[in-house]
Amino acid sequence: MNIFEVLGYLAAILTTISFLPQVFKIYKTKETKSISLSMYIVLTIGILLWLIYGIHLKSLPMILANSITLISLIYILLMKVKYK
């Protein structure tokens, strides 16, 4: 594995786990006022399409990363609607 492949995997890990702090913040504060609902609707649909594309490509990293991201996004989306 060369340095760029390492960077690629690191990129995938970071962008996947990045939404967890937002999940925990909402869980703790029950507050979503400054979060954009449109952003999370568009992003959730986009990640769902990445997941479908990953399943089509039989790419385990894409399936794993996008599944975890999707779960975080759906939680943030539901909480945004709940605490609107």
**Rule CB under 8 A: which residues touch a second copy?**
4, 7-8, 10-15, 17-22, 24-26, 29, 31-40, 42-43, 45-47, 49-50, 52-53, 56-57
Helix %, strand %, coil % of the chain (to 5): 80, 0, 20
Q: CA-CA distance, 79 to 8, in Å (whole number)? A: 31
Shortest spacing between CB 47 and a second copy, in angstroms: 7
- In angstroms, give the least distance from the CB of 58 to a second copy: 11
C-alpha neighbours within 13 Å on the C-beta side of residue 74: 8
Contact 23, 72 (CB under 8 A): yes
Q: Which is nearer to a second copy, 29 or 78 (CB)?
A: 29
CB of 83 to a second copy, least distance (A): 9
